[in-house]
Amino acid sequence: MEIMETLSLESLTEMSPGLKPAAHALLNSEQRGFLERLDKFEAPYLEEKLIGEGKFSSKGEYQEAFTEFKKFSALNIFYPNKRIGMPSEKVDEVWHQFILFTQKYNGFCEEFLGYFLHHSPHISSTPKSRKLEGAINFARTYQDIFGEIPSIWKNGKYDFSQVGSSGCDGCDTSGPSGGCSTGCDKSED
């Protein structure tokens, strides 16, 4: 088992509360540095547009959704081989609006993600299993990195309380820990 560095107190105090990883998150220094850089990214044009159009009633409500969008983006970097679902209507609203600022969104993707993060909404023909897979992957990866899932993600579609990050139904070698975090010896087929 690889010994991971712990977050320094100085590093934790510099980050906003929203992008701090959970105490149990197994992140290396590069991943911590990525979160620190991402934490500093702001998009005032999104705030102006979304509040101006009444999508968010306050700066605080917008900021929560924007912070959670940044977390969603980080999950897509930390787990590149998983389909991470977008179960929050409010966070999805931020993503939709950001995409419309095409040059700024493309710049964000290039600078922080290294690739263009495409939005692939579900349609009536999307299999329920794919929707569920995305939601489960979201819940497990979020809990692994950021801990408890906040209420902005809980809009009644999924019961995340039944999805634990420690259940062993297959080992994930794509995540930050590089292997099974539960200690099981189940191998991939």
| Residue that wins the pLDDT comparison between 4 and 130 | 130
Q: Is the pLDDT of residue 163 over 90?
A: no
Under DSSP, the state recorded for 46 is H
Q: How confident is the model at residue 132 (pLDDT cuts 50, 70, 90)?
A: confident
Q: Is the pLDDT of residue 170 over 70?
A: no
pLDDT at position 124: 75
Q: Write the pLDDT tens digit of every residue in 29-82.
A: 999 999 999 999 999 999 999 999 999 999 999 999 999 999 999 999 999 999
**How would you label 45-57 residue by residue, b for 16+ Cβ within 10 Å and e otherwise?**
ebbebbeeeebbe
| pTM of the predicted model as reported, rounded to 2 decimal places | 0.76
pLDDT at position 164: 53
pLDDT over 90 percentage in the chain? 60
pLDDT at position 156: 57
**Mean pLDDT calculated for residue range 172-176:** 43
Residue 138, CA atoms < 13 Å, CB-side half-sphere: 24
Three-class DSSP category at 143: helix
